[in-house]
Amino acid sequence: MLSLSSRKLYNMWLEKLNTAIKEKGYSIERIKRTIEDRGEKLSRPSISNILNGKQVPNLNTLLLIADAIDIEVVTLFTNEENKKPSGFIEYDSKIYRIQSKSDLENLITLVE
C-alpha cells in the first residue's frame, strides 16, 4: 500500500504521462511497437495497466515508456510550483529520495 505522499506523487506522474501521450497522439500499440523497435519488450496489457493506474512500473519500465513517447522522465516528476523533481523512487529494493534533476539523472545512470 502506498503512503499518502507516495500516492500523490504516483498520481502526479501518471497524470503527466497520460497527458503527454494524449497530446502527442500516441496509442498503446504505438508505444509498444516503439519499445520493440528499440530492442526491448513491454506487453500491451502491461502498458495499459500502467496507464490506467492498475500497475506501478519499476523505473526501467517507466524509462522505456518515456523514451518511447519522446519525453524526459524527469518531466514526470517535476513539481509545477518550483519546477524541480521531488519524491521517492524505489529501485532494486532501495528507496531513493529525488530532490533535483541531478538526483534523478544519477538514478537513471545507475539503472542504465
- The H or E element spanning position 89 is strand 87-91
Read off the pLDDT band of 25 (50, 70, 90).
very high
Domain span at 27 = 4-111
Count of domains for the chain: 1
Q: Which helix (H) or strand (E) holds 86?
A: none
Least confident of 5-14, 43-52, 55-64: 5-14
> Is the pLDDT score of 3 beyond 90?
no
pTM: 0.70
User: Residue 2 gets which letter from DSSP?
Assistant: -
Average pLDDT (19-43) is: 96
Average pLDDT over residues 46-70: 93
Chain-centroid distance, C-alpha 91? 13
How would residue 85 be classed by pLDDT, with cut points 50, 70 and 90?
confident
CATH number for the domain including 107?
A: 1.10.260.40
| HSE of 42, CA atoms in CB hemisphere, 13 A | 29
| DSSP class per residue in 5-62 | HHHHHHHHHHHHHHHHHHHHT--HHHHHHHHHHTT----HHHHHHHHTTSSPPPHHHH
Instruction: For residues 16-31, give the mean pLDDT.
Output: 95
